Amino acid sequence: MSPVQQGPLWTVLLVPVLLGTLALCGAAFARILEARADGRRISGVVLAAPLAESGRLLVQQRRTVVASDRFLARTGVVLVPVAAVGAALVVPLGSTAASDLSVGIVWFNAMEIVMWAALWMAGWGTNSVWGLVGGYRFVVQGMSYELPHMFALITVATGAASLSVADAVAAQDGLWFVVWMPVAFMAFLLSSLALSFAGPFDTATGRDVAGGVLAEFSGVDRLLLLAGRWLLLAAAAAMSVPLFLGGGAGPLLPPWLWTVLKTVAVLGVLVWVRSRTATVRMDRFAEFGWIVLIPLTLLQALVVAVVVVSRGTSMGGM
């Protein structure tokens, strides 16, 4: 397989388009699952529902609450999709990446942290008790998923002896990381759902708090938040491929197609899990995160580190 290379500058423009398409596919799949639960027929109307919903929100009136901090709230709202596209910049499609940063893994992580601020700002800025509760819930959730998530990323970086996504893909030549880092992979998938505040980690926008962060947003603001959430989930699914599933590696088909196929499969699993689970209460998840996930991911990092050292791999890159 050819190594991952930096693509020409125009490929940056392609990132939002591809990510948006992927996000639309994910949203459409979620609609299909909903229609099945309703006992409705799967038709074109169901498949087009995400687009129709976007159209509805585009023409809907925007609203604000008395004495809300509109600057803060709207900055937060805009940052959500921006962070998602930013995170996707370092994901290689086949053997081309829009941006092959030497610290791509850290960049991806940094974009998620932007999400913390973005969602909290959107929630706080609306001057509504629901938004406030939702915003703070996301921060609490972040405290529970972010450390296992970072350990999962560190495990990959240790295995690849580099913080570059291209090196991570290259290091999986022969053996995918998912095979000897299954715990890190699971932790990554769980935190993908959590960072895109999708069920079972949707307490920040829970129905029990009337939509939480979303409660007071309508029109374009709501569209940006909802679309941003899908873009994030798509970006995280796409990132799992170079990190754990060998990137574009695979027989017969071209590398870019393998990347797409693997990404769609991961996204499908995430959307399915999302639809099958009830929201996990924050106190329970905090307990699980700190008592189960963190030790497990640490142990995984330790195992990988021991393997890397005993193989005598050059650590010069670190």
Partner 1 sequence: MAPADADLLVVCGTPGPRLGDAIERVWSQVPAPRARADVGSADGARDELDRVPHRLRDATGAGHACVSPATEEARPEPGHGTVASAHEVQAHEVQAHEVQAHEVQVDEVPTHEMSGHEMSGGHDMHMMHVGEVAGLPMADRAPDRDGLTLDVLQMSLGPVLSDWPAGLVVHVTLQGDVVQTARVEVVGEPGPAWDGSPAASALDGLAQLLGVCGSSTAARTARRLRDDVLAGTVDSAVLHRFARRLHRSRTLRWATDGLGRLDDGRPDLAGDATARWLRWLDTAEHGGPAPDAGRAAAAVTALPGLVEGRELASVRVVVASLNLDLDALVTVPR
Q: How far is CA 127 from CA 66, 67, 70, 74, in A?
A: 8, 7, 9, 13
Asked if the peptide bond before residue 148 counts as cis, ω within 30 degrees of 0, the response is no
For residue 93, list its beta bridge partners.
96
Q: Among residues 53 and 176, whose Cβ is nearest to partner 1? A: 53
Q: Among residues 207 and 311, whose Cβ is nearest to partner 1? A: 207
The CB-of-293 to partner 1 minimum distance in angstroms stands at: 15
Q: Among residues 172 and 203, whose Cβ is nearest to partner 1? A: 203
Q: Among residues 178 and 210, whose Cβ is nearest to partner 1? A: 210
The CB-of-276 to partner 1 minimum distance in angstroms stands at: 7
The CB-of-241 to partner 1 minimum distance in angstroms stands at: 26
Q: Among residues 108 and 197, whose Cβ is nearest to partner 1? A: 197
Q: Among residues 165 and 186, whose Cβ is nearest to partner 1? A: 186
Q: Is the dihedral of CA 62, 63, 64, 66 positive or negative?
A: positive
The CB-of-172 to partner 1 minimum distance in angstroms stands at: 32
The CB-of-291 to partner 1 minimum distance in angstroms stands at: 14
Q: Among residues 48 and 170, whose Cβ is nearest to partner 1? A: 48
Binding site for partner 1 (CB under 8 A): 33-34, 37-39, 45, 49, 52-53, 55-56, 58-72, 124-125, 127, 129-130, 133, 136-137, 199-200, 202-203, 206-211, 214-219, 222, 275-284
Which tokens go with 72? Answer: 């803060």
The CB-of-300 to partner 1 minimum distance in angstroms stands at: 23
DSSP secondary structure string for all residues of the chain: -PPPEEPPTTHHHHHHHHHHHHHHHHHHHHHHHHHHHHT----HHHHTHHHHHHHHHHHSPP---TT--HHHHHHHHHHHHHHHHHHHTT--BTTEES---TTHHHHHHHHHHHHHHHHHHHHHHTT-HHHHHHHHHHHHHHHHHHHHHHHHHHHHHHHHTSS-HHHHHHHTSSS-HHHH-HHHHHHHHHHHHHHTT-TTS-GGG-GGGTTGGGTT--HHHHHHHHHHHHHHHHHHHHHHHHHHS-TT--SSS-HHHHHHHHHHHHHHHHHHHHHH-PPPPHHHHHHHIIIIIHHHHHHHHHHHHHHHHHTT---TT-
The CB-of-215 to partner 1 minimum distance in angstroms stands at: 4
The CB-of-140 to partner 1 minimum distance in angstroms stands at: 10
Q: Among residues 57 and 166, whose Cβ is nearest to partner 1? A: 57
